[in-house]
Every structure is written in C-alpha cells, then in structure tokens.
Amino acid sequence: MALRVLIVDDEALARSRLKSLLADCTAPGAMVVGEAANVAQAMQCVAHQSVDVVLADIHMPGGDGLNLAQNLRSLPSPPAVVFVTAHAEHALQAFELEAMDYLTKPVRLERLQAALQKIERFAQVNKGLEADLTDEVLVIQERGRTERLPLSEVLYLKAELKYITVRTASHTYILEGSLNDLESRHAGRFLRIHRNALVARQAVRSLERCHDPVEGDGWAVRLDRVSEPLFVSRRQLAAVRALVEAR
C-alpha cells in the first residue's frame, strides 16, 4: 500500500518539488493526501484524515516544524515525521523529537525513497508486535486492507519462501514474518511439527503413517477441518505423538 503523505512547507515551489519526487517513489509508493503552509493547517489536515508520513520544513511562519513534530507526538496514533529543510543545524533536536529522518534541500529522489522505506520497515515491525501483545490476533495485510485474524481460528502456519501461509477452516492468508518468532510468542497455542510448520494444538486429531514425495516414508498429522495431512519431521515426532496420546 502507498504511504499517505502530508507535505508541510510555506513555499509552494518546495511543496510542488516534493510532490514530483513522491510521484517517482516506488516500493513503497507514496500518495499525497494533503498540503499545508503552516503548523495550524497541518494539524487541521491530520485531524480530518489518515496520514502515515508528514514531510515538514523547519523554518515556517507561525510556528516551526519542530513545534509541529511536538504537537503530532500528542496524537493517539501519530504519523511518522521526516524533516525536509535547507538547514542542517537542527538535526539533533529533530531526532530528539523522534523524527524518522532528516533530509536537506535540494532533496534527492534516492534519499527520499530511503526515508520512506525506513518508515515502512518500522511500520511492519510495529504491526508484527501488534500481532499481538495479548496473543489473541494476527494482523493480516491483504489486497489493500488490514484484517485482525483471531488466533483461535488458525489451524496451521507453514513457511514458504519469504512468506507464511496461515490456514483457517475456510480461508488461506499470506503473512510476512518469521515462523520462529510466531512459535516463541505463541508456543502455548501452536506445536512445531516440522522446520517449516506449526499446528494448532487444539486442532490435532491423529498421527498416521504416510509417504511424502519429498520427505519419503514417515508420519503425518491430521487436523480438524483440514483435509490434507501435514508431514511430521523425525525430530518433532515424539512431541506430536505425546500430544495425540494425551488427548
């Protein structure tokens, strides 16, 4: 998804140049959702729409960009702030206000792109942590929307290349992340059956002999509401067998 950007600069020409640069940014893309010439206008914009990133000049009439950053920090979900200025002397103060980056004019496309990528990485980490402190949900990004998926509905998690397949009884989702991380956070809910798979403990139904085209002869676990068996590695077999026998 494109990052929603608010440009704050008292110079119309500077705002126009940033808009042109943002139009050339990819992965992540950027969508300008508003422009402001001062702090008051900027706060009004943020109050009336969702903003992911504020690109703010520092020296502006009627309150500078540092004041703006301080005001934004008081919001329940503050946007990331990137200062775009001709003056380098405020960099330390900017980072004390938790600015994500500090760009000096004239801004180069690659530096702006790098700043947006940093913001996206930071957002993904936060979303991962949001998945969840109460161990109740996974946050799924799918087709331009965000869905909070209750962990109680997840039957298995399977690592495939850079992604994790999240399977419920009725749907399959794709999640970016680490299977090891999910295992450590939700060990009470999921059991490791293979280096690439976790299964919901409560969904385990049986253990049976099987032949896998890749793994060869071995054992597979059957889950409630899932038709396909999931191969169990020799290393994890004892733990799976113990769970099945305890049920």
List pLDDT tens digits, range 178-190.
899 899 888 889 9
Confidence of residue 134 (pLDDT cuts 50, 70, 90): very low
- Is domain 3-128 in CATH 3.40.50.970, yes or no? no
Model confidence pTM above 0.75: no
Domain 137-246, what fold? OB fold (Dihydrolipoamide Acetyltransferase, E2P) (2.40.50)
Domain ranges of the chain: 3-128, 137-246
Per residue in 26-80, pLDDT tens? 888 999 999 999 999 999 999 999 999 999 999 998 889 999 999 998 888 899 9
C-alpha 168 chain-centroid distance: 21
